[in-house]
Structures are given as C-alpha cells and as structure tokens.
Amino acid sequence: MTERELKALVSLLDDEDDQIVNQIVDKIRSLGKEIIPFLENEWETNFNPSVQRRIEELIHDLQYELLKDRIKEWYESKDQDLLTGLWLVATYQYPDLELEKIRQELEQIYYDAWLEFKPDLYPYDQVKILNSVLFNKLKFGANTKNFHSPGNSMINVVLETHKGNPITLCIIYMLVAQKLKMPVYGVNLPNLFIVTYKEEKNQFYINAFNKGLIFTRQDIENYIHELRLTPQPTFFEPCSNLEIIRRVFRNLIMSFDKMGEHAKAEEVKELLLIIADGADLGV
C-alpha cells in the first residue's frame, strides 16, 4: 500500500459512521507493526482530536501485540536473559525504550563499583563495598513515598530516579554483583524479594530494599514464622530469571490496580499469562 493510500485510509478515521471507522481500524491493524512509524508521523501532523485519539489507540494496540510476540520469544529463549526481560516489562509503558540504553546505564554503575572493588576480599567485605557504592555514593534506595507507583517496576525509571521497590533494587544489585563475579542471586520470599550470596560453603542474605542489610537463614526462618507460613525450600534458595520476571509483572499489575488503572492492569495480566504457570494466575 502506498503512502498516499495510507493517508487516505487514516483520513477516514474521522467518519461519523462507527461501522466504517471500525472497518478502517481493522484494515490498518491488519497491516501489522511495520505501520507504527507511519502512524506516529500521522499523529504528529494531524490536528483533528478524534483522529489523533484513534491513531493513539491503533499505535497502542499494535505495540501491545508486538510486545506479546517479544515476550513469547523471550519465554521460549534458552537463557531467558534477565535484563532483556526487565526491558520488555518496561516497554509496556515506554515502547520506544532501547535495551542498549539500559545496558549502558548498568555498565556505568558496574564501573563505579569496579573502581573500589577488590576480588580477594572476604564476601562480607565485598558486599560492604558494593553497598557503599550503590546506597551511599549513588543514593539508590527504597521508594517509600510512592511504594505502589508503576514506575517502581520499570527498570528505566528506577535507574533514572535511583528509587525502587524490593525486586527492582535487588535486580540492579544482583546484575552489578554478578558482573563483579560475585555469586549473588535472587530469592523469592513472601511479600519481599531479597538476594543471597551463595558459595559452596558459605551463604548469607542481603536486603537491597534496606540499604544492603546482611542477615542469616535464621532471620528468614523468624520472618516466615511471623507470617505464620510453612517454610519452603524456595524461601532460602536462588530463583530463576523466569520467576523474577513473573514477580515483576505481578507487582506491576498490583500497582496499576492500586492506582485505579484497571484497564492497564488487565493488559499486563495478559502479558503475564504468556509466561505464567498455574501458580501465577492469581495475582
């Protein structure tokens, strides 16, 4: 279809007959994600509010379908790269976000930590150095003022504001630590996400939401007891990248619901279903 034909098609979005408009919308949507740049340009140059609104809806629908395809591709990939998964979550709200930009920002944090890091130190001392860089020098911390903000689940927002929720702060901590060759992994606790430093004969836990507080297995057992839950092996051991991304999605759904953005919450539920097992369906 030529550009002139596309422009003519878009101009018909102003028709007063809803049936005609729906047919035009279906036709444009059938052209697929390749038409998104054209629609974005049309949105910028069209000054008819009703046409702009319909173009916005079309762009969102096409970007949403593209995101579904990308999440499915990530789910079926061999390594299920954690940073790529986080980027996909963020592109729901920021569809033009570039993965490379996120990589570069994390690389800078790693470089700041690497300058002060000494590989031959004892594990606790390594953790203290990383804590100092992340929480004292770079001022990463808990977003307690806006705990339920959807931005807390968006890696780009957390990297920009240096404020996040337990899981995004732990992910940044973990990604930087692993690049420093530290055996640090995510752990799924009820109502809290933490990381563990785990070697063959040495394991302890770190709460990035509380400025890198170090604690023990007994502390977790006490926490589980206070919640009146039965201890599970998963409360003490590393979880997979897939489990982490599932939890990020669940947090985002809860955030949108808390903010009253229920339509967005329902859309994110659909995204979660792509990578969910039975346990993830109840958010």
Please tell me the distance from the alpha carbon of residue 42 to that of residue 52, in angstroms, as a whole number: 8
Residue 282: its pLDDT value, please?
A: 39
3-state DSSP helix/strand/coil percent for the chain, to nearest 5? 65, 10, 25
Residue 2: is its pLDDT beyond 90? no
18 pLDDT higher than 90 = no
Mean pLDDT of 66-90: 97
> Is the pLDDT assigned to residue 48 strictly greater than 90?
no
Give CA separation, 102 vs 5, 38, 89, 139, 159, in Å.
38, 26, 13, 18, 8
* The predicted structure's pLDDT at residue 281: 41
Strands 213-215 and 192-198 turn out to be unpaired
Rounded to 10 deg, the angle between the 166-179 and 241-258 helix axes is 150
Answer whether residue 191 shows pLDDT above 80.
yes
DSSP, collapsed to helix, strand or coil, labels residue 66 as helix
Domain ranges in the chain are 3-76, 82-280
Q: Which of 188, 278, 281 is nearest to 239 (CA)?
A: 188
Give me the mean pLDDT over the 227-245 stretch. 94
Tens digit of each residue's pLDDT (9 = 90 or more) over 127-173:
999 999 999 999 999 998 988 999 999 999 999 999 999 999 999 99
How many residues in total does the chain contain? Answer: 283
What was the pLDDT predicted at 280?
Answer: 47
pLDDT at position 278: 53
Higher pLDDT, residue 181 or 61: 181
Coil/strand/helix, residue 176: helix
Query: Got the DSSP string for 231-279?
Result: --GGGTS---HHHHHHHHHHHHHHHHHHTT-HHHHHHHHHHHHHH--GG
Predicted confidence at residue 283, as pLDDT, reads 35
Tell me the mean pLDDT in the region 182-189.
96
CA 74, 75, 77, 82 torsion-angle sign: positive
CA–CA separation, 250 and 282 (whole Å): 9
- Residue 25: predicted pLDDT: 78
What percent of the chain is predicted at pLDDT more than 70? 95
Kindly report the backbone phi and psi dihedral angles of residue 181, in degrees, each rounded to the nearest multiple of 5, phi listed first.
70, 25
Please tell me the predicted confidence (pLDDT) of residue 261: 96
Q: Which percentage of the chain shows pLDDT scores above 90?
A: 72
Q: Quote the pLDDT of residue 167.
A: 96
Q: Which residues contact 144 (CB under 8 A, 6 or more apart)?
A: none
Whether residue 275 contacts residue 71, with contact meaning beta carbons closer than 8 Å, is answered with: yes
Given this model, what pLDDT does residue 47 score? 74
Question: How many angstroms separate the CA atoms of 64 and 66, rounded?
Answer: 5
Point out which residues pair with 204 in neighbouring strands: 197
- Using pLDDT thresholds of 50, 70 and 90, give the confidence band for residue 12: low
Could you tell me the two tokens for 185? 């992994």
Supply the mean pLDDT for the chain: 90
Bin 264: left if φ > 0, else alpha if -120 < ψ < 50, else beta. alpha
